[in-house]
Structure 1
């Protein structure tokens, strides 16, 4: 990757890739958050409950795109670190094939099983009707949703981080304007939110494809790049599988929480959980952006066998993630009513329950960011299996907490399950990453690096 220069400091390389990645993730997250803001103010508690019930199903699309984008991105950067442009281009072509095939497969899956997945979470009444309308819009547009999710990572690893960010900014702006038009002016409700999102995602996916077919792309695409390679396909899926599992984990955990909140609380509890989830998502997007910005240089340095640079980059990412996480937790606890008011300011019971959820559900939030970094680190150095173990562990370790704590503590146990399980997983994930970084030998001769 020509853009990573040997004379460039670790801090500068990290910032140059991470800042656009963080901006892209925040902008990408605005799809969900802006939807939540408009839905909360125009449709109230039922709308927030419905969108939180629909989200676990939609997360399949986002996770599939992230799997392809991150898996192919790591593979592309590794090949470019080895100066093998032909193989990097072939990895990009096979990623495009996966977007199309997996997108069609998810459309079929949602058509046959989407409604059942909503029912399993307790979707009934007005909230259930809203959620069904929201999901129906995505069924025929899964390829665009997957493509839009993968696009920024593929473009960024083509050495165009600024263009990747610009794509996501454009998509978020389109989504915001259309949300206002469809929900606020035309009264389309939750279906309007879905249509706005799909139109924005389609724009991003089409523009990304146009970029790769243009002269501005470093790699570019040709018919030869679309030759199916089992090795490329399997490597992309293996390297990115932890990202898919992470999103599936999030979706499954949201679904389980929705069910338990309905059982031990009420629809108000689910709506409060939606608000707390949006606030958690803001930090998660920052942490994910940091880890994704870390990925191209770490993959490159690993391919170059510059192990000391790998260590420095990962440590810098951890420091930034911890500072941001603790700061966000403090801000939420100091000004809870102000941030809750972004989504709803007139339902006293909802505001009170969301405030309670912030205190119990988010106190160990910064550890979630470190877990993401550990997973992306292992993926970046070609250890997709270990990244997958961490992602699976993130899901499995919550299950006993969700089973036992509500029985002991009732509604408060549902709120506490995630933060307590995060503490346990962080001990394992960070220990494994530290051990891996410590065991990797530094090269015998290396120019001094300033960070």
Structure 2
């Protein structure tokens, strides 16, 4: 079995639970690297679809999948909510030494996956087409987008489980297994995209089928892992019955992740609508490319945050508060460095990056370059906001994590309302970075106050924060 966070951050000579900087770094990278790799791999499902659609279907295909993506992304958000919420509760209970409760949290998480999948299938079947029309979809763009959404509507359980299972495996102290599982899924998706889109010309239906089949393989292998002796968790008929209080705790802890996905989907949909109103389908296609590019960094930031979560949850459960501060500060440092480096690369070689998604050297390329310059210059702040939300989730403060996610969505609305009226298309591009700057000025003091408050109250009660 892999070493737990407390084994990595061993007790010092005074026996007070304080880990050295070297031990914190070792613990951080042990969880962060597999988590970053896993998130990048999970994002490849969408990014690879975009690459093949851009080259084999064209601008209409990019616009269509960009309108379908906000609809299907919420389904992945359900899985992330249960994976992060269930995983956080599992690690918290283990930190408290309550392995029975940890096992119960695992089983309840799977029960909730089935329940949410039923609701998601019903919702997509009923309102999928309307959600595409609400973004301005019509003609070929609407038809292609609906093809993509229809496939996902019939396989919501697969999408939800494929997002949640690797996170539960990671909190079962097997981060490398989780990463390997997601890499396998991404590689399968690449092969199937080539066959379905490139060879068989199935367009967006092929993109959706490639993703669902790859996710299904991830689900099957993940379930087999939990049935094996390697796992310390497992399915138990005696405790699989729903526990309303524990289910509420899982949803509460993970709800900020779902809201973050809902926020992302809503903002993308609103951008699509505004770009269709102030621009053309070419502008929406350019936004699709810029969105895929931003997703690459966003997934790195989310991977850092999710890699931070298991050790922080464990440290919180065992009341090692100084170790939490060290882990958080290291995570912030890595997030900022990664973000600034990513921005530099994008501005040095934009043509190379954009060329991954299209062979069009005309208007689509020009508009995408403009989007990179205006839309992404402050994206490292978005990474810190994600980190703050996961931090509060990891220490059991689901309400604060949720408030950050909701704030992230609401704060963009006035920017998206006024800026396009003043600046046109450029105003739509600028709405995200300017709102990130505004939200960061609120979230940063909020996190710092939480850290300082705990330093002043070393005997802080874990239960009082949930």
Following superposition, the deviation at residue 103 of structure 1 comes to: 0.8
CA distance in 2: counterparts of 1:420 and 1:108, whole angstroms: 37
User: Which residue of 408, 421, 434 maps to 1:420?
Assistant: 434
2:66·2:285 contact (CA, 8 Å) conserved in 1? yes
**In the alignment, which residue of structure 2 is the partner of 1:60?**
74
CA distance in 2: counterparts of 1:204 and 1:442, whole angstroms: 45
**In the alignment, which residue of structure 2 is the partner of 1:223?**
237
User: Which residue of 213, 216, 227 maps to 1:202?
Assistant: 216
User: Which residue of 353, 362, 376 maps to 2:376?
Assistant: 362
TM-score when normalising by structure 1: 0.97
The answer to whether 1:341 aligns with 2:355 is yes
2:107·2:234 contact (CA, 8 Å) conserved in 1? no
The answer to whether 1:392 aligns with 2:392 is no
Following superposition, the deviation at residue 282 of structure 1 comes to: 0.3
CA distance in 2: counterparts of 1:423 and 1:224, whole angstroms: 49
Q: List aligned pairs for 1:207-286, cutoff 5 A.
A: 207-286=221-300
Q: Which 4+ residue blocks in structure 1 deviate beyond 4 angstroms?
A: 442-445
- The two structures, once aligned, show a CA RMSD in angstroms of 1.2
CA distance in 1: counterparts of 2:4 and 2:317, whole angstroms: 15
**In the alignment, which residue of structure 1 is the partner of 2:14?**
none
What are structure 2's unaligned runs of at least 5 residues?
Answer: 11-18, 460-466
CA distance in 2: counterparts of 1:114 and 1:63, whole angstroms: 16
**In the alignment, which residue of structure 2 is the partner of 1:439?**
453
**In the alignment, which residue of structure 2 is the partner of 1:3?**
4
Q: Secondary structure at the match of 2:191?
A: helix
Q: List aligned pairs for 1:29-428, cutoff 5 A.
A: 29-428=43-442
1:372-394, Cα deviation, whole Å (9 max, x unpaired): 00000001111000000000000
TM-score when normalising by structure 2: 0.94
CA distance in 2: counterparts of 1:346 and 1:252, whole angstroms: 28
Q: What is the aligned residue count?
A: 445
2:36·2:307 contact (CA, 8 Å) conserved in 1? yes
2:193·2:210 contact (CA, 8 Å) conserved in 1? yes
Higher mean C-alpha displacement, 117-126 vs 1-10: 1-10
Change (3 A) 1:110 1:10: same
Q: Secondary structure at the match of 1:441?
A: helix
